Amino acid sequence: MAENLLTVENITLRFGGVKALTDVSFDILKGEIRAIIGPNGAGKSSMLNCINGFYHPQEGRITYKGQTRKQMRPYEAASQGIARTFQNIALFRGMSVLDNVMTGRVLKMKSSLLEQAFYFGRARSEEISHRSKVEEVIDFLEINAIRKTPVGRLPYGLQKRVELARALAAEPELLLLDEPMAGMNVEEKEDMSRFILNVNAEFGTTIALIEHDMGVVMDLSDRVVVLNYGEKLADGTPDVVRSNQAVIDAYLGASH
């Protein structure tokens, strides 16, 4: 039985009158790929945002690596090894691919930003020592050829990949991916699937993945949690979830 990495319990999140999440509980085991699926507006992104501290749920608890909190703060989440990508790509558009990936190392720097601002020499030598990890990630995701390109000029599929690279540069324990394949063509999807599986297999990174493409979900994930209108509808292995009547109804009822 694998160890528990993250447990969310009875999470309720409201925006004014809108309930984005209602009493949602599930867990993520160390080393697994956990998919979160559901129709549009089901609350999937909101769930990730609660986990990495962007949203603060009104009710419920989050237990990560044995520590229970009512809510996370983004800085806290990041420094405890939670990295993520975004549904709408959130790269630093003015910077090169290499610089974007380098920013992922910010928490691994030994001296704080404040120290670095006032103490130059150490900053330089730190920089060099971080380059090797960044190069490794760049090789791994096969983006060597575009390392100097400003990310704003890259096609959508590659931008998604750079965003994954930035997250990986932080050597996360838990990687949150919000629709990493949205808007990609078949070939790009295959590449991305392969990268996700490799990250999981080679680095042992635990992954929570939001994805609409059911084929991809079935191929990649160990377990699936299904949300609908902010509530948990089902939870289990892909096969179990796929044959769940409530899930089938929710998907047939929703327009896609």
Ligand X SMILES: Nc1ncnc2c1ncn2[C@@H]1O[C@H](COP(=O)(O)OP(=O)(O)OP(=O)(O)O)[C@@H](O)[C@H]1O
- Asked if 40 touches ligand X (CB under 6 A), the answer is yes
- Asked if 43 touches ligand X (CB under 6 A), the answer is yes
Q: What is the largest CA-CA distance in the chain?
A: 63
Q: Which stretch binds other proteins (CB under 8 A): 121-129, 153-161, 198-206, 210-218?
A: 121-129
Contacting residue, 7, 12, 63, 87, with Mg ion by CB under 5 A:
87
Residue 215 has which token pair?
A: 């084929």
DSSP3 helix / strand / coil % (the chain, rounded to 5): 45, 25, 30
Query: How many other CB atoms are there within 10 angstroms of residue 181's CB atom?
Result: 23
Q: Which stretch binds ligand X (CB under 6 A): 37-45, 58-66, 120-128, 196-204?
A: 37-45
Residue 9 has which token pair?
A: 């319990």
**DSSP letters spanning 147-159:** TTSBGGGS-HHHH
Question: By C-alpha distance, which of 188, 238, 252, 242 is closest to 209?
Answer: 238
Contacting residue, 15, 66, 112, 128, with ligand X by CB under 6 A:
15
Number of residues that bind Mg ion (CB under 5 A): 2
Q: Which residues bind other proteins (CB under 8 A)?
A: 52, 54, 74-75, 77-79, 83-84, 86, 90-95, 99, 102-104, 106-107, 109, 112-114, 116-117, 120, 123, 126-127, 166-167, 170
Q: Which residues bind ligand X (CB under 6 A)?
A: 15, 18, 20, 38, 40-46, 87
